[in-house]
Structures are given as structure tokens and as C-alpha cells.
Structure 1
């Protein structure tokens, strides 16, 4: 394998999303057979051979294009040039025919040419002129048709290979940079942010209490097995952007003959406590946030791509740490970031909604503060992460490995394809893998421990437990019964944050006070440096994507998300996606906007029905749905003869049933309070509701006098699966698909 040379320059390989598995399987079998006989002694060699195998398979499939220097487009395609020249010539003929008709044409050669070409001896000039005009129109439409076909092909290919980029193209926001920031200033900005290492306050009194709480816990040493590699690699996404090694996750997943060697080499790294430098070197692409703010270095968002093998290793370590944290019940209930078997932000929003509604119904006093950290993920001292790992009993080989790994963290900055240089990461977490978020959460465990110990917070009843705070990663909300309590809780958070060298973003912090369930004027919360966390009423605060103040702003949120939903549906329908991809894009890009609010926002049946009507109206306007087509059929699965569109009302109801089922089974005190408050009133499970809804819809379609006849015609008389194969494939234009279905009905 010539590609296995360590110094070979690696080419970015295409994805194989569109290659059928049956075509790919023989090649994968052959390379796995060859790789099983190769002697490999290091992780570098394993990576090189994996990349070589990827190159060979891609070449054999005929998908690898030789690397060529990028050239600027020479202009329009030849077919377009040819047709435009034809139009130009026809327009010239039309002009000459007009002059000939008006007896202004003096050139005899042109006259003879026109007579021969348009048979003017037997045809009137007026008739020839009309023919020329029709030819001009037909040729112009041909250009439009060809261009539309090219756009259709490209959009469907992009959707199949990379849905995220397709959605970005609809939003007209791509990863390409139009204005590049100044190189020296940009590098300096990120070096000051990441390379300026800070330490935590080792003399803080609360640290000893934190250490003592978990001193009896000890995690066992990690030994990585082939089975662990096989299990974890299934979670690796196939075609996400790779790091500098240009090796996609797909290859580690399917080159099974290398998995045993990878396990052995990972264990060697854990035993030695060291890791190869190339594994800890990322590629960070700077993407402009707001074009109106120009090319200031701080106006760029970093997106980091890491080597897939590094993500595999850190993923295994993260899994084992998670297992240990769950076994010893170390993670606080108040923190839902990266927590298994939880609904993440929905947990916190449900608990928050329960508190707000309880306060209103009981006419109780409630003080709340929203805390925002300034550059939270970029500020955390590495020394504090190491301290927390040791304090909660993480095994020595893992702790030493993580410590040495963090010392090697570095990334190469890119703006477009231009390198801006290497930056060491000596502060903050290395965003891009599954271990880094967990390290951040571990570093914030002491905060929950300290806040719990204050015995302050809001109670929904006299016998209920006190809720002092909710956290999702770095999003923190505090609850107190009085101004004194909220001041004390905020001060506790400030002391902890200062001790670990993290700062509040005071301009994004806010507070609000409620007396007997009603909002009152608040002086804010005074900080020792003279600054104040202010109450920004009547302006609402956006907490985990939901606007709120003294209560959730239901009507405002409905307006905002409804507008966003319809905008996305309109953009999808204006695109050239085929019928199947149009429905899939709606289900995966537009519907989640509404689904996220389910269980939190109080939607009425009429409002959800109205959104579904808007969807169908937009489909009709864009010729994707015939005006007289059956509504029930639209929402049935394609294998059953429908089009597979998710109904907004059903999506919301399914999510509400799923949340109710989840809350009912939870043993967490705060979620038990949610259950007792009866925020989610459902009797069925999600699966029961979904099954009933689909069956009702199918029966309704079948029982219709006109629209149901199609089913009667094919039932028992034709192979239903083969009859509907064109529909399950979904490759026809959405207009054609809609017309055929209407004709069947």
C-alpha cells in the first residue's frame, strides 16, 4: 500500500453515502482480509493503513478524482454559450425580417439568406417573424429548463450527502468566508484567549469540603477491549468532517480487522499516560458570525475538527467515566448537560415551568436570577479540571492520561483554506469530542454541591424539597424565596466562579422578583465590584431557547416559532428537491422547530391545525400537493401509500406523550413535583398514541367514497409493495408526485 507512507500528503476523500451496500461489501471484505495479515506496531501505522484502505476502495469504486490545482471557472458551460448564440442569431434575423417588411433592408446578401432560410417565396414575412419569435422564446425556456435541472441535481445530491450544508445553503449561510480577518491580529486574539493559562484558588475553603464528599469513591483502571472499540465506533458518525488525518469515521467502523490493533495501541497509551502529538492537534475553522460587524477577530466562531481516532479514544474514556459517575451517583440532578437517560433542556424547562406556574397558583414569593458566563468553555483552568478528576476518584491511568493530553492540546487556525498558524490550548476545553463537555460538567459539580448545602431555594409546598438552581452545561438559573436568598445564592456562585477563574457576562445576566405571584420592581443584585445584575423587565429573557420573565411568554414564543416554521417550509418547497427529499427535509428541519416547544408551550388544537393547514396551503401554492388531494394520505407512511409527512399536531402530541411517560417513570424529586403538578395530562404512551393515530388516518382514507377507491383497486389484485415502489423511492419531482397521487384518488 503506497498510500501508507507516513509522509504522504493526504487528500480529502469523498463520502460514499450514495454507494449501495452490496457494491461496497466485496471491497471491504478484501481490504479487511489484507489488513489482517499486516504487521502494525504503532497507532500512526494503523491510521496510515486505514487511510490507504479508504483510498483504494474509493479508487476501485471510481469515485476518487486526481488532485488538481483549483482553477477559476472559464465562464459559462458550452451548451449555454451555444444556445445564447442561437438566440442572438435569431434576434438578428428578427430585426432583419422587420426591416425587410418595412423595406428598410438594403443588403441583398442578407435578403437572399432570409428568403432561403425562412422560405419567404412561399411564406409571408409576418409569418416568418412569428416563427422566429417563437424560436427565441423556446430556446430561452430551454436554457431555463436546463439550468433548473442542474440545480435540481445538485441540490438533491447535496441533500443526500450533507443535509447540514444543504440547510445552510437555503439560509444563504455557508462556511465560506467573504471577508478575511487580519492574520496577525486574529492569531493574537485566539492565543490570548487559549494560551493564557490560569490557575484556580487553592486556598478556597469550600475545596476541602468538596474533596471530602467523594473521598470514599474510587474508579477502577480502564482497560480497553476490542468489544469496547466495536461498541463505541458505532456511535461515531460516518461522514462528519475529519481532522488532519482526513480519515472519516466510516472507515474505522468498517475496517474491523484493525479494531483489535487499535484496542491494543489505546491501552499502551493509557499505560504510558502519553499520546501521539498528531492525535491532539485539531483544525479550527473560523466562521464569521455577523457580517455587519465586519472582520474583527472576535466576530468569528471556531469550529474544530479532530482526528477520528482521537474522538474514538476519548469517547471510550468518556463512556467509562459516565458509567462510574452513574454508579456512584456523583452527577447532581440539577445538571442535565450530557446526562444519559434525560431529556436535557426539556427537563429543565419542565421544572422551570412547574415552578413558575406553582408560584402563580399559590401566589407565592419568588426571586430568580439568570447567570451567563463569559467565554465559559474557553475559560476553565486545566488545573481545576485535573483537581476535580482527582477529587471524585477518577482512576490514576485515566487522570494521568487526561493531564498529559491537555498539555499537548493545540489547533491550527484556518480561515477558508488559508492557515493562520498553530495555537496551544492551555485553558478551556478542547471542543470537538465527547470527553470535553464531560470535563466541563465535572468541573462544575462543586457548584451544585455548594448550592445544595446552602439549604436555600423555592419550595412548591411545605413538604417538597428545595430547588435552588438548574443547570444545562453553563446555563444557570437560580431560585430563592426572598431577595436575601437570591442575593446569597448569586454571591455563592460568584465566589465559586472567581475561585476557578471564570467571569460573569453581566450584560447577559438578569434577575426578576415576584411577590404573591406578580412581578414587582427590583433593585437588582449588587456585586462587590460595584456592578449590578439588573432586572430588564419588561424585556423577556431567553432561557434555553424559550422566552420568559415572570412566566413563559407563550403567545410570543408561538408567534416566533410559527414564523420560523413556515419560513423553513417555504424555503424547502422553493428548492428543487424531489418529492421524497422534500418531505424528509420538512420532517427533519422544519418540524423540530415546533416539536421542541411541545410540553412547554401551551398549544391549542386550533393553533396546531392552523399550522398544518398553512403547510398544505404552501404545498399547493408550490404545486407539491393537488388542491383536491386526500389530506389523510399525505400523513401516512410511504410504504402504506402515503407521502410520509409528519403532521404538526401529531408531532407535538407524540412529544407530549413521550414527556409524560418519561416524567411518570422518573424518580428525580424535581420531576416528581412536575408529575404532581399535572403539567402533562395524557393517558397513553407515545407508541400507543402514534399507533392509534396512524390506524385512524388509514381507516379514514380507506373508507372515503372517492379517495379510497384506489386502495380497493389494488387490494388483493396487485403486489402492493411493487405498486408503491415509485413512491417509496421518492425520486420523482414533487410536482409530478403530487399529480400522480391526485390522479389515483
Structure 2
């Protein structure tokens, strides 16, 4: 056996020595030697020449910033070679990550490249050229021509009747067209500035239509399916004739026809079994063609499901639960419109005074609005791209991309807020979709109104809401009992925890009442809303803006895909923007202050009377109200105060959905020990004891139902497990920390989820269960572990409670009760230090905890006795990727 081939490649052990000798013979300095040793393609004769040219360009690039460094290399390479050579992006990525100490992916790297005009010092004449190629100029011309055409076309379309263009999936996005349209808008508005919000709306909608026109491809209607179906029909007819001939039931007139069919398939009369052979052949051909149609339909549904999931998650999840049965309506369109006109009509009886509202002075009443382009840019960046648009048909995505209009938008929004002019009626008109609550809608009250306001209106109210929220937070204009719109807190979860802690302090013996408001948003009196704003002490420009907006509210009613009428709102707070919840909370705030000032409060800590503790007599989350007292007569008086306030505001208690554990309270039903009442998502009995087993069973049934529905879709593996995490397993998020769930119970949940996946054939029983929870980059499946998620959420929640307990009595009270009762939430730090062998509990952070969880999975993988059966390639990649030195982070 030969030891080596003298004419072949050098042996592996001698490669480094030969490379070093070659570098020394060239007389290179130490820095150049180091770069050659670090260069993955240096000295490799199998590497194409273009990659060596690219390597030289990379070494010569000037480091200005990360994005410019990548752009320099890309444009210089395209200028010299014409394109990035095969394997070039991987080389650029390795050099980039090494130079800037990053771990960027190829998609992130490609996203850094941007068209620009930069004078650089690399190349002979590169600094004298501009990076605007002829193709980009051609694109700009096309965009400019199409944009001008669309601006003229949309003049005939009313602004309150513009249909939205199709949403764009990321993989089909044409960035060059968007850039061209943005440049075209800059060119058009350079000398002809938009003079109002109407002009800006026209330009944005024209840009959407222009993008659709420039990217739309006319596809010829395929007749492939029809042809296959005709072929199946023909084969079925032939099979029927052959079967009749075989059974000797064929009429004599059809004899020539059947012989033609038999001869077509090579019939030989002298050979036995020919009829059976032809029958089987025809049956196989029919099955084959049917299979073609099934595969076609399956692939079509595959593309449809994945595109809908990636582009419109809400619609995808909504379609999962959508039933095919036709909804029955017991009323006509006129009756429906009349009902909603009555709901939103002005009240006949008005209170003589609004004494329940106190006057506040904040010294901020005369402050002027201040909106900068930076503030406006930050608001735009956080807008959801494809949020449902209103009658203007404009998406936030195009508002973000058409940066040439941002300066004009900021100017016009400031003018509208300052009251310099009022936009036309379309600006304040929403589209209200009436969604049935059940299959058989007997009256219009069985419909749920969902309103979509114009996108530009939502942008204006978003700017106002940000400023209003700052004033409300700074001057404490909302009672501490209301956690509905409060910043930097988990409102519903903390409110539900306070409910449990307070009832535990009093042995679950408090008299309680749960109050539900009938059509709360739709019933608020406008005069009372204006009075609350006048007395709140907020700047006058906010008060005047809200008043001007509310007076112009109107909606177009749509049901079953058709418009049935229009309604002007003389009462109620129109939902559909970010400002509405805060206005409603301010309307209910006087009730909270009345209950706090008139009726006795209950304290969480009764042991030390000298300790300052959290005390309250009611809980309020938006319109979900719960009141409690030690005595029966106190609760009765509190309910009278609530009903009196509702009468002034125009609200009405829903006696069917309200409840109490006090039998003498006749205005609502009485809670027994069986049914219970669900407050803020937590089922509790008459003594406010949490019915934990029923809650957990209910959650798992919903999770099981959702996973089963997702398994029937055609989502690919990536999207399927992402959907399971988002749509199914996320149901546990709210209850982690809210209910005292033990670690073993979380393990049982994960086990039940795995069993469900196995039964649905999404996970095989002999497959590795640890790999389920690994990130897909580590060759895992990407499933969220409820156990790991609970550890992260509990640790983060406990840290938040501890950090804020010194300045927030509410959180201090929660922390004291859970520690006294030894909840798993209170002991989470010690549990984590024991499970993951962490010496110092105080050193635990979110990042270190994620790393420990990955190492925990890695150890369990290595300890598997059948680990040698796995692919060595997969194991090597997985173990290298999961190594802490590679900076792996759990996602």
C-alpha cells in the first residue's frame, strides 16, 4: 500500500508547513502572513479565481461602518466581475463576522446592502462613478410614469370608498420598485408640495396602486385540471364499456366501439386474461390521473396556507375556527341599521349636573403641542405593517416605505392637531364589520361590531395618544385601581393576583360582586366625556382635538361582505384606534375615586398596623369591575353608588353576566359553589377561591383543540411549529405566575403535548424528545417548552416585583403574600440554582438562564444510551452549535 502520491495534493499533516514555507519564501511581513493563515481560501488550488479576486476586494475595503463596508465590497465586485461569484456571500459573511465580531446571517448581510452614491478610495476610477446603474434609472422612469397615471386615475375614486390593494409577502417584495416609487414621490413633491392630508392620502394610495400595477403579472388561465378531468371521464367511459363487454351485457350496436377501445390498449384475442389486463390498466390510469389532481390541490393549498400564515396571521387563525355552516339571520338590513342607530343615538334624559367629577389643576392646561420629525418617525416605526385599513385603503407598510412624504405628513398632522383646519368627512369615517356571535342570530344585538378607521386617522390619534398617556402618567390622572392602560406593568395578571392575595388575607370570606357593563364603549355620553376632559387638567389642545374628532365620528355598516347603511355617532366611544381605550378609562375614573373615598378599604397586610400597605375595595380593568366588602350592607351601598354613576354616564349593568355571592343583591345572579365566575380569565367560586383544576383542564382542552386544527393544515414544518407556539402553547402564558403551578405540573404539560403530537403523527415515538425543543438552527424542531418558558417568565416576573416593590405598594403586597404562602413564583431563584447548579442565585440573568437551559438539554442528549445511532454529522453540528463559546441563545 502506497503511503502517498508524489504528484497528488500534499498530505494533511504537511499542509501547514508547506503553506508557511511558501509564505516565508515570498518575503511577506507578519501581518500579511497572519491574514493568509486566517483566509479560508488562501493556498487552495481548487478555489475559483473569482473568489480570490473577491478576497482581494474584501481586504482592500475601507471600514467606515458595517453597512458601508458590505456595500463597498458588493458594488466593487459587481463592477469588476459582474456579480457575486458562487460562494462569495459565505466568504463575505466569514470576513464580516471576523472583522466586526458579529454572528450575522446571510439574510442580515444582504439587507445591509443599499443603493447609494458614495465616493470611495478603492479601485482605479471607482471614486469618480456613482452607484446608480442604468437599470435603476429605467426603474425610476417606469415608477414615475406609473405613479402619474395612478394619481390621475384615483381622482375619480372617492376617498371613503377606496379598496385596499393585496398585501405583499416578504419573499415576493420588490425593493427596487419601492425605492423607485419613493424617488418618484420625491420628484413629484419637490416643486408641488402636498397642501393637505387629502393630497397625501391620494399620493400614498396611488403609490400602492402603482406598485401593484408594476409587479402584477398576467397569468394565462391554465386548462390543465379541466384536461385531466376530461381524460378521467373518457377513461371511466371506456372502463364502463369494457366491463359491460366482460359481463356480456353490451348491446350489439356498441361492439365496434368496444373493439376500438380494446385495440387501443393492445388487445390480443388469442391471449388469455386480456380483458382483465385492460380493466386493471384503465383502473390504474384513472387512479393515476386522480392522484395528479389530488397532488395539484394539495400543493395549491400548501402555498395558500403558508402564504396566508406568513402574511396575515390573524386571518389564518380566524379561518381555522371558521365554520362552513351558513349563519341564519332573523332580521333584515333595515332593522339592523335601525338598531345600531338607536344604540349610538343621543340620550333623551340628561342628568342635571356632573357632580361626580372633580376639577383638577395641573398647570399644564396651556402647554403647546410639540411634534418633531424624530418623534413622528418613532411613531411610524412601531406601526404594524399590514394592520387592517379603513375606507382610505392605505397600509402602514407604504407609509413607512414612502419616506419622501414623512416631512409633509408631520407638518399636516401638526396642523390638524393644532386645529388649523379640519379634514373632510372621510377622515373620521370608519368601516364597521358586524360579526355574528353565534350561528343563529335572532336580533341585531347578537352581532359584534368591529370598526376599522382610516390609517391616516389612526396615525394622527396615535401621536395624540402618546402625548396624552405621558400626561396621564405624570399627573396621576388615572386611579391606581385601574390597570387597563397602565404602562410598564402586566395589568390583568397583577390585578388577578391582587384579587387572590386580598381574599387570602381575609380567609376567602369577603362579600363580592362582579359587574359587567352592557355595550360599555357604545353607551358613553359625549357630554360627560367632554366634561371629564375639561376637568382633568390635560392641555387644552388635546381637549379641543378630542372634541372636534368625536363630533365628526361616523361609520359605514358592513354585513356579510356588503354595505347595509351608515350611522352618525351621537353617543359612545368609537373603537378602532389607540386613543379609544384611554378615553374610556378616563370616563370610568370618577367611579373608582368615589368608591375609594366613600367606602372602607381592605388592606393586604393586617399584622403590622404601622406598615404602609396596599389597600382597596374594588378592582378595575377597563370595564371589568369587582367590588368587595367585609359587611353585607357596605356591598349593597357600593352597588347603589355604581348604578348611580352608570346612570349619569349613560352606562347600564348587564344583569345576565353580572354576579355576586350575596343573595340579597337582586340586580344580578348569585354564585354557587359549582358554576363559579370567570374574572379576568380566572375561574373562581363564591369565596373567590381559584378553581385551579378546572382552569388547567380548560386550558389544555383549548390547546389540544388548536394543535389538532393546525395539524390538518398544509403548513410546512417551520410555520407549523411556529403556529403551535403562537396559537396553542401561548394560552399558558397568562396563567404562568397567576396560578400557583408546580414544576412537576409543567413537566406533565410538556409530556401531554408530546403525546398529542405523537398521536397526530407530528412527532414519532422513537424520535428524540430533546430535539423537539432545540432551535431549528441547531437542527431541532423549534417547539417551545412550557417548562423552560415558565422558568423564564416566572424569574422575570419575580425580578420585576422585587425591583418595584420599594416604590409600588401593589407589587409589594403581592410579593409579601406569595412569599408567605411559599408559591413556586416566590421560590423560583432557589429552584433554578438547584436545577442548573448555579452557585450564586443573584448572578442569574435572563441570558444566563437561557444558556443553562440549552446546556441542560445538551447534557440529556449526551447521556442517551442510543446516541450512537444518530447521524455523526448531525451530532457534530449540534454539539458545536450548542457550545457556549459560540454564543448560542435560546429563542
TM-score (norm 2): 0.73
CA distance in 2, matches of 1:717, 1:288: 52
* Match of residue 684, structure 2, among 548, 552, 556: 548
Matching residue of 2:386 = 239
Q: Which of 622, 625, 645 is the matching residue for 1:476?
A: 625
Q: Hey, what does 1:727 align to over in structure 2?
A: none
TM superposition shift of 1:13: 0.7
Q: State the partner residue of 2:656.
A: 507
Instruction: Give the equivalent residue in structure 1 for 2:403.
Output: 256
* Aligned residue in 1 for 2:764: 626
Identify if the C-alpha distance between structure 1 residues 174 and 443 changes in structure 2 by more than 3 Å, giving closer, same or farther.
farther
For 1:538, what is the secondary structure of its paired residue? coil
Please name the residue that 1:97 is paired with.
242
What is the aligned partner in structure 1 of residue 167 from structure 2? 15
Give 1:438 deviation, angstroms.
0.7
Q: Is the aligned partner of 1:49 residue 2:203?
A: yes
Aligned 8 A contact 2:706 2:728 in 1:
yes
1:108 aligns with 2:255: yes
Shift of 1:644: 1.1
Aligned partners of 2:631 and 2:877: how far apart in 1?
Answer: 74
Structure 2 gap ranges (5+): 1-147, 830-843, 882-891
CA pair 65-270 structure 1, distance change in 2 beyond 3 A: farther
Q: Does 2:289 match 1:139? A: yes
Contact 1:332 1:445 in 2 (8 A): yes
Residues 119 and 484 of structure 1, relative CA distance in 2, 3 Å threshold? same
| Aligned residue number for residue 557 of structure 2 | 413
CA distance in 2, matches of 1:429, 1:176: 31
Separation in structure 1 between the aligned mates of residue 324 and residue 520 of structure 2, nearest angstrom = 26
Q: CA deviation at 1:533?
A: 5.7
Alignment deviations for residues 293-321 of structure 1 (CA, whole Å, 9 cap, x no partner): 34x22221111111111101101101001
Aligned counterparts of 1:569 and 1:540: Cα–Cα separation in 2? 28
- Alpha-carbon separation, structure 2, partners of 1:287 and 1:202: 37
| 1:61 alignment partner in structure 2 | 215
Match for residue 26 of structure 1 among 179, 203, 209: 179
With 23-32 and 364-373 compared, the bigger mean Cα shift is at 23-32
Distance 1:543 1:717, change over 3 A: closer
Q: How many Å apart are 1:216 and its aligned residue?
A: 5.5
Which runs of structure 2 are paired with 1:65-76 in the superposition (5 Å)?
none
User: In the TM superposition, what is the alpha-carbon distance from 1:326 to its structure 2 partner?
Assistant: 1.2
* Mapped partners of 1:256, 1:473: distance in 2: 36
Partner of 1:314: 461
Quick one: distance in 2 between partners of 1:129 and 1:604? 65
Determine the C-alpha separation between the residues in 1 that align with 2:439 and 2:325: 13
Report the Cα distance in structure 1 between the residues aligned to 2:218 and 2:670, rounded to whole angstroms. Answer: 59
Does structure 1 conserve the Cα–Cα contact (< 8 Å) formed by 2:362 and 2:537?
yes
- Conservation of the 8 A alpha-carbon contact between 1:306 and 1:433: yes
**RMSD over aligned Cα atoms:** 2.9
Once the two structures are TM-superposed, the CA of residue 404 in structure 1 deviates from its matched residue by: 1.4
SS where residue 139 of structure 1 aligns?
A: helix
> Is the counterpart of residue 188 in structure 1 residue 188 in structure 2?
no
Cα pair 2:327 2:441 within 8 Å, conserved: no
Q: Distance in 1 between matches of 2:752 and 2:671?
A: 38
SS of the counterpart of 2:765? Answer: coil
Partner of 2:446 in structure 1?
A: 299
| Corresponding position of 1:539 | 675
Q: After the TM superposition, which residues 147-546 of structure 1 pair with which residues of structure 2 at under 5 Å, given as runs?
A: 147-173=297-323, 179=329, 181-197=331-347, 201-207=351-357, 210-211=358-359, 213-214=360-361, 218=365, 220-272=367-419, 274-276=421-423, 277-294=425-442, 296-360=443-507, 365-462=509-606, 463=609, 464-512=613-661, 522-525=662-665, 531=667, 534-546=670-682
Query: In terms of mean alpha carbon deviation, does 301-310 or 173-182 score higher?
Result: 173-182
- Partners in 1 of 2:870 and 2:475 — Cα distance? 60
Give the CA deviation at 1:453.
1.0
Match of 1:602 in 2: 740
Q: CA–CA distance in 2 between the matches of 1:509 and 1:315? A: 33
Q: Structure 1 residue 557: deviation in Å?
A: 0.8
1:544 Cα offset (Å) = 1.4
469 and 65 in structure 1: CA distance in 2 versus 1, 3 angstrom threshold: farther
The structure-2 alpha-carbon separation of the partners of 1:102 and 1:422, relative to structure 1 and needing over 3 Å to count, comes to closer
Larger Rg: 2
Is residue 809 of structure 2 the alignment partner of residue 669 of structure 1? yes
Contact 2:366 2:539 in 1 (8 A): yes
Are the counterparts in 2 of residues 510 and 536 from structure 1 also a CA contact under 8 Å? no
TM-aligned CA deviation for residue 450 of structure 1: 1.4
Q: CA deviation at 1:168?
A: 1.6
CA offset at residue 553 of structure 1? 1.0
Change (3 A) 1:709 1:370: same
Q: 1:688 to 1:8 in 2, by over 3 A?
A: farther
Indicate if the aligned counterparts of 1:467 and 1:670 stay in contact, CA closer than 8 A.
no
Is 1:88 the counterpart of 2:233 in the alignment? Answer: yes
The answer to which of 307-316 and 635-644 deviates more is 635-644
Q: Structure 1, residues 719-744: CA drift from partner, whole Å, max 9, x if none?
A: 999xxxxxxxxxxxxxxxxxxxxxxx
- What are the superposed Cα offsets for residues 359-378 of structure 1, whole Å, 9 maximum, x if unpaired? 33xxx641111111111101
Unaligned stretches of 5+ residues in structure 1: 67-73, 513-521, 722-745
For 2:273, which of 109, 112, 124 is the aligned residue? 124
The TM-score, its normalising length taken from structure 1, stands at: 0.86
Please tell me whether the aligned partners of residues 599 and 638 of structure 2 are also in contact (alpha carbons under 8 angstroms): no
Higher mean displacement: 626-635 or 679-688: 679-688
Q: Secondary structure at the match of 2:209?
A: helix
What is the distance in 2 between the residues matched to 1:470 and 1:219? 34
